[in-house]
């Protein structure tokens, strides 16, 4: 059976790709061995949240999903950076970056990942030109200049003009095409979970730096009538494992301290999930008939809500190039590699640097970080440029 576009991987990026290209009239097949989990309290639910930044919204609109997602989204008007890296675990430098400085819109809109999956799957059900095969893996790929052939775990095959590898950081498609990656390991893990708190977040996303990595609260809609936030708490691996194993009461106490009590006592409102943190970038973002997107191409620590947002830019570039060139042609894929790889590399390097300064145990680096936050914020042109850069400007 032949299709225009074959997407290997139905994580958030692969599902979005299927909605986008399906909505734009392409015939699409998307496969994933693991069915998406679309309920918050189900085992294995993805309890991370994604802050979709402004440039992501037109992509989600073209995918026909933004109207489904927006009623559940929490706007992010202000990013608050707090340095608590002094002797005591308390704020010693706090600066607010307000979206109104550079735009009439909020920086972005935050949504839980399990809910994003639910709405993407609902959108796919509306698209008769998208074949979505759950419980099916892509096991082998063979390409020629005119087409690609894919072997599936259900014993069938597909041929496609363009293969989108959205099969994650250990991408089989990437390895099969002989593309190497450069990986940086930090020995760090992120705990991701939801909390409630008595003090409202007022649409402020708060990133608190001390040691081990950032502790970030991102606004969610109220939960059980209480203000709620999604938290990503990064620490060295053994410390993250210790925190994950604590009783709920002990965990509530430790995370309230780590949050410098800025929102009053925090109460765990979901399971805790652990995510290994690495930086990784593929040596090429394309090969014959193949485009790598999302974590198959690039992985970065979760700082500044960049990961999936970069992936949506991968998709919008691919769509634009598919309109300019024959689908899956060498011209299209060379242009994709050229446009995306260097832009993504610069961003991943920037996030790597921020992560290293946030992890630091060294007093003078922590002091420098604290002074740096103030200096960047207080110089208006630098502040505005950095805010625009964070939103995706080049
Ligand atoms: C703690 C944390 C917080 C984050 N917060 C943000 C944020 O606020 N904003 C943001 O933009 N980004 C954020 N990110 C990054 C974002 O979550 C990721 O970029 C995104 O989830 C990665 O999606 P993906 O689809 O590439 O990979 P995955 O979710 O890993 O999906 C890959 C899929 O491929 C499937 N697969 C594997 N092998 C095969 C095969 N052989 N055949 C077919 N399918 C296969 C897998 O089953 C899986 O479903 C965060 C990341 C972390 C760790």
- 10: Cβ below 6 Å to ligand 1? yes
Mean pLDDT of 216-233: 93
Give the whole-angstrom CA distance, residue 164 versus residue 122.
21
Distances in Å between the alpha carbon of 81 and those of 53, 59, 254, 307, 312? 18, 28, 20, 19, 25
Atom of ligand 1 nearest to the CA of 48: 3
The pLDDT of residue 375 is: 67
Task: Label residue 386 by pLDDT band (50, 70, 90).
Answer: confident
Q: Which of 168, 190, 291, 311 to mutate to test the pocket of ligand 1 (most atoms within 8 A of CB)?
A: 168
Task: Give me ligand 1 centre to Cα 308, in Å.
Answer: 8
pLDDT in tens, 270-316: 999 999 999 999 999 999 999 999 999 999 998 877 889 999 999 99
- Angle at 257 (CA atoms; ends 254, 261), nearest 5 degrees: 135
Q: For ligand 1, what atom is nearest to the CA of residue 232?
A: 1
Where residue 383 falls among pLDDT bands split at 50, 70, 90? low
What is the residue-wise DSSP string for 193-205?
EEEE-SS--TTEE
With a 6 Å cutoff on the Cβ, whether 214 touches ligand 1 is: no
Q: Does ligand 1 come within 6 angstroms of the Cβ of 141?
A: no
Q: Which CATH number is 2-36+116-183+281-356's, of 3.50.50.60, 1.10.287.70, 3.40.640.10, 3.30.1490.480? A: 3.50.50.60
Under 8 Å between Cβ of 285 and 291:
yes
Closest CA to 282 of 150, 163, 176: 176
Provide the CATH number for the domain formed by 71-110+185-276+357-390 in this structure.
3.30.9.10
pLDDT at 306: 80
Predicted TM-score (pTM) of the model is 0.92
Tell me the pLDDT band of 394, cut-offs 50, 70 and 90: low
Q: Is the CB of 15 under 6 A from ligand 1?
A: no
SS3 179: coil
Q: Please give the Cα distance from 54 to 294 (Å, whole number).
A: 18
* pLDDT at residue 393 greater than cutoff 70: no
Domain residues of the chain, as ranges? Answer: 2-36+116-183+281-356, 71-110+185-276+357-390
Lowest mean pLDDT among 216-220, 338-342, 365-369: 365-369
pLDDT value at residue 378: 74
Q: pLDDT tens-digit profile of 264-273?
A: 999 999 999 9
Q: What is the mean pLDDT of the chain?
A: 91
Overall residue count recorded for the chain in this entry: 394
CB 110 within 8 A of CB 116: no
Mutate to test the pocket of ligand 1, among 282, 292, 307 (most ligand atoms within 8 A of CB): 307
């Amino acid at each position: 059976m032949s299709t225009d576009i074959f997407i290997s991987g139905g994580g958030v990026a692969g599902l979005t790709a299927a909605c986008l290209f399906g909505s734009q009239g392409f015939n699409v097949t998307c496969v994933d061995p693991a069915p998406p989990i679309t309920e918050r309290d189900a085992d294995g639910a993805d309890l991370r949240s994604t802050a979709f930044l402004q440039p992501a919204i037109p992509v989600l609109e073209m995918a026909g999903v933004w109207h489904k997602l927006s009623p559940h989204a929490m706007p992010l008007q202000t990013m608050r950076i707090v340095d608590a890296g002094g002797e005591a675990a308390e704020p010693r430098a706090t600066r607010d970056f307000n979206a109104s400085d550079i735009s009439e819109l909020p920086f972005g809109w935050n949504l839980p990942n399990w809910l994003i999956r639910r709405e993407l799957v609902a959108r796919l059900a509306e698209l008769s030109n998208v074949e979505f095969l759950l419980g099916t893996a892509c096991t082998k790929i063979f390409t020629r200049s005119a087409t690609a052939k894919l072997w599936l775990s259900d014993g069938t095959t597909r041929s496609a003009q363009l293969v989108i590898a959205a099969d994650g950081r250990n991408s089989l498609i990437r390895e099969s095409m002989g593309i190497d990656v450069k990986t940086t390991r930090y020995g760090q893990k992120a705990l991701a979970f939801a909390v409630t708190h008595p003090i409202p977040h007022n649409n402020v996303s708060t990133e608190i730096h001390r040691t081990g990595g950032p502790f970030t609260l991102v606004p969610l809609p109220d939960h059980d009538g209480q203000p709620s936030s999604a938290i990503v708490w990064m620490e060295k691996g053994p410390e993250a494992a210790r925190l994950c194993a604590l009783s709920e009461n002990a965990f509530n106490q430790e995370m309230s301290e780590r949050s410098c009590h800025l929102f009053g006592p925090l109460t765990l409102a979901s399971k805790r999930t652990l995510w290994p943190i690495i930086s990784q970038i593929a040596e090429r973002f394309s090969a014959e008939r193949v485009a790598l997107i999302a974590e198959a191409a690039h992985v970065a620590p979760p700082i500044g809500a960049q990961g999936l947002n970069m992936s949506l830019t991968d998709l919008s570039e691919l769509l634009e190039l598919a309109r300019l060139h024959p689908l899956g042609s060498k011209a299209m894929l060379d242009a994709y590699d050229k446009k995306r790889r260097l832009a993504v590399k610069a961003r991943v390097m920037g996030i790597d640097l921020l992560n290293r300064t946030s992890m630091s145990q060294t007093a003078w680096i922590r002091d420098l970080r604290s002074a740096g936050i103030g200096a960047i914020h207080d110089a208006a042109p630098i502040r505005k440029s950095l805010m625009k850069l964070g939103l995706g400007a080049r």
